Amino acid sequence: MRWIFTVLIFWAMGGPVVARQHYWEADYDSLTRVLPQQTSDTARLRVVQHLLDLHPTNVQALPLLDQLLRLNKQLQVLDAAPYRHLRNGLVLWQQGNADAAALDTIKVAVTEFDRLGRPIPWLLIDLVTLYNRLNQMDARKRYYEEKLAYYRLRRATENVAACYVSEGGYYRRMGDYNRTLNSVLRAADLVRAYDRPLYVRELLVAGDVYADWGNRAKAVQYLGQALRLPEFRRIQGLERVFTFLALSRLYAEGDHPTTALHMVDSVLTARGGDAAERKLSQAYALVQKGRVLLQMQRVGPAGQLLERAQQLGDSLRIPMSGRPGEFELDAAWAWYYTARHDDARAESHWLLAYRKATAARIERLRPEYLKQLIAFYDARNRPAEAQRYSRAYIALTDTLNAAQNTFHVAQYESERMEQAQNAQIASLQQAQAVQAVRLRLGQWLLLGALLTVLVVSCLGAFIYRQLQVNRRTLAQLRQTQNQLVQAEKMAFLGELTAGIAHELQNPLTFMKNFAEVSTDLVEGMNGDGDGQAPALETEILAGLKQNLQQISQHGQRASSIIKDMLEHSRSGTGQPVPSDLNALAADSLSLAYQGLRATDKDFYATLSKELDPRLGPVALVTQDMGRVLLNLCTNALHAVRQRQRDLAQQGTSGPASYQPTVTVRTRRPTDSPVVEILVSDNGTGMPAQVREKIFQPFFTTKPPGEGTGLGLSLSYDIVTKGHGGTLTVETREGEGTEFLITLPA
């Protein structure tokens, strides 16, 4: 059963569909804390796989992949090929000088995951970093367009959304705001169903893009929508840095520098994440804060912040474009030196910023830097340079504007409005069709109801008539049943009465005969006078004494029969209570042995008690069940004593090799609702004809005067009628007997 459960778990883990509800929203840090607490390799492998799905390329990914491959080598439940390729790609990635090989290897891993049909949205999103580092923008565009078509055909929602996220980043880098927003909003609509934090992040990106595009109203709309969602509080790491930097830029452009400083300070004071990520966040935040301070004419503090940002940028080798956005340190230095009236350095940094944006193909920054260069040269009366950069600016903006919407609203928003209107129209049409169907259905239902009433009325009349017939028949059957029960009772009563009369007749006949003989002896003594010899009187008195003893013995037997009959009639009147069956069985065996030893001092037997400690309390009428066990143990002891005597009569070697043994055993069978008590002996056993009669009243195999024949009959009634159990016997003549009692647990 356990292996079936394991296979089902990993079918759900490795199959084509991963449970979407809350899976992608899981907190990475919480999973990391839970991992060491897993007690089984199966659970540990499941958590490791989940962590890799959420962050497949961070610094912890490589040791997690090693752990996954090691566990899977033992369990053999996953196809390890994609994870091996991913591990090899990460090793190359972390070398820093093998990005091309790392990209190719991880693309092979993506292909392997696609073969398995496993969603890998975050691996697709993280793969963008390698394309950016290699500056392969055209290859990046082609790859994600091909992947998007592949995943849309297979309805792989998570991977489709990841491709839209990656395409949005590409178009933003190219300065195509319209296509950027089309991709970002499509991604937001898809991830809303399964990853609410990512949905919030895409809304923030949409707001920031609108701000860059110059549509402040739309920027405020999307940023405000994201901030109002409860999932915004779960945004951590670089995504949170991106959010607050976007808000800071928006407030700075809206001439709210104090609020802009507050937003950027939220980044600088944040804690959490690894050391490299914190340093990267601080570098971006220092650049933004320096620009806000320059806007507030606080040049000195701005320069100090930019120095710190420069140190972090050089130590971390921060590229111009990264996950938190564009790292515009050179532009910030240009503004700083412009404020310090250091034209040479300002010009140098503007030119450096423009060259870096051109080399990295960040098309959205190039127009801005060209505008700044034109204004810089125009203000310093350098028309040749201003004209040259003006021509470059016009050519670039013409290219970009051809792809932009004049109203600075994403085309996809218009598509969404049209889709909503079409959906509303379709809903109205559907409602009208449903209403028409309901009207027709109502007419048919009315006709059907009338027919039903007619049929039910006819059936009711037929059933009423049949009921009257059945009542008469039932009354006759009950009368017949009562007669049969009464006849059965009378037959049983006659059989019981005959048995009682027969059993009482024997001791009463013996008592009558011995009394008559005693009377004759007394009359003989009185009739002979004084001439009787003393020896004869002594003999007569001895005979009288023996007769009186026989009368007493048979009187006691008659009394015992009557007592057993009274006990038979009183059995089963108590209420069951939870009892210690082990203790009751052990006490019954000891009492039976002590009782037999009291009458036969020379008798010894081995008593074996095999009591199940897992038995627990059992609901019993303790007095009745004690009577049953005492009777069974007594019978077993009589049987082993009889076999010992028989062997002793046959020869001298028998008794020495025979050890009388009586065993009482209790047990609770696994997955069974009953408990069992076994009383076994190695006595004489019973022949088949005796075994068939042992539970009948007044049947006994003991010598005359030693049993009434009611013990086993009484025991059978107590077990079956009083406790709802069973009493069965297994025996082999000359080998022994075993009684089995089963009781409800």
In one letter, which amino acid is 118? Answer: R
- Regarding whether 551 and 585 lie in a shared domain, the answer is no
Domain edge (last residue) among 541, 570, 599: 570
Q: Identify whether 77 is part of a domain.
A: no
Rounded Cα distance between 399 and 410, Å, is 18
CATH code of residue 660: 3.30.565.10
- Regarding whether 605 and 714 lie in a shared domain, the answer is yes
Residue 38 class from Cβ within 10 Å (0-12 exposed, 13-18 middle, 19+ buried)? Answer: middle
Contact 629, 719 (CB under 8 A): no
Residue 481 class from Cβ within 10 Å (0-12 exposed, 13-18 middle, 19+ buried)? Answer: exposed
Rounded Cα distance between 570 and 718, Å, is 10
Q: Identify whether 495 is part of a domain.
A: yes
Domain hosting residue 601, numbered range = 579-744
Domain edge (last residue) among 551, 570, 589: 570
Nearest-10 Cα torsion for 373, 376, 381, 383? 10
| Exposure class string for 638-651: b at 16+ Cβ within 10 A, else e | bbbbbbbeebeeee
- Regarding whether 723 and 597 lie in a shared domain, the answer is yes
Residue 702's pLDDT is 63
Rounded Cα distance between 653 and 641, Å, is 16
- Regarding whether 540 and 453 lie in a shared domain, the answer is yes
Residue 467 contacts by C-beta under 8 Å, 6 or more apart in sequence?
A: none
Token pair 């042992």 in the structure block, residue: 694
Q: Identify whether 388 is part of a domain.
A: no
- Regarding whether 558 and 631 lie in a shared domain, the answer is no
Residue 540 contacts by C-beta under 8 Å, 6 or more apart in sequence?
A: 521, 524, 525
Q: Identify whether 252 is part of a domain.
A: yes
CATH code of residue 258: 1.25.40
In the chain, how many domains are there?
3
Residue 207 contacts by C-beta under 8 Å, 6 or more apart in sequence?
A: 218, 219, 220, 221, 222, 223, 224, 225, 226, 246, 250
Residue 370's pLDDT is 85
- Regarding whether 516 and 455 lie in a shared domain, the answer is yes
Mean pLDDT per segment of 10 residues, for the chain of length 745 residues?
38 42 84 91 94 92 94 92 95 90 95 94 93 90 93 93 92 85 92 89 86 82 84 72 78 82 81 73 85 88 89 84 78 90 88 85 80 86 85 76 54 59 63 80 86 88 88 85 64 56 64 70 64 69 73 68 59 75 91 86 91 89 89 92 87 68 93 91 88 74 59 85 90 92 89
Contact 586, 664 (CB under 8 A): yes
Widest CA span in the chain: 181
Q: Identify whether 10 is part of a domain.
A: no
> Of 406, 347, 396, 403, which is closest to residue 367 (Cα–Cα)?
396
Q: Provide the pairing of β-strand 661-667 with 606-610.
A: parallel
- Regarding whether 514 and 450 lie in a shared domain, the answer is yes
Alpha helix (H) residue ranges in 528-613:
534-570, 581-599
Residue 289's pLDDT is 87
Contact 38, 9 (CB under 8 A): no
Cα–Cα separations (whole angstroms), residue 165 to 118, 422, 615: 18, 26, 64
Contact 678, 665 (CB under 8 A): yes
* Tokens found for residue 190: 């898809």
Domain edge (last residue) among 520, 549, 570: 570
| Cα distance from N-terminal residue to C-terminal residue, the chain | 26
Rounded Cα distance between 17 and 118, Å, is 7
- Regarding whether 622 and 549 lie in a shared domain, the answer is no
- Regarding whether 586 and 551 lie in a shared domain, the answer is no
> Of 601, 592, 602, 599, which is closest to residue 637 (Cα–Cα)?
592
- Regarding whether 532 and 620 lie in a shared domain, the answer is no
| 78 DSSP 8-state letter | S
Residue 187's pLDDT is 92
Rounded Cα distance between 710 and 727, Å, is 15
Cα–Cα separations (whole angstroms), residue 682 to 14, 144, 639: 61, 86, 8
Residue 572 Rama label (left phi>0; alpha psi -120 to 50; beta): left
Rounded Cα distance between 709 and 725, Å, is 22
Contact 607, 593 (CB under 8 A): yes
| 231 DSSP 8-state letter | G
Q: Identify whether 101 is part of a domain.
A: no
Q: Identify whether 685 is part of a domain.
A: yes
- Regarding whether 732 and 606 lie in a shared domain, the answer is yes
Q: Identify whether 672 is part of a domain.
A: yes
- Regarding whether 727 and 604 lie in a shared domain, the answer is yes
Rounded Cα distance between 557 and 551, Å, is 10
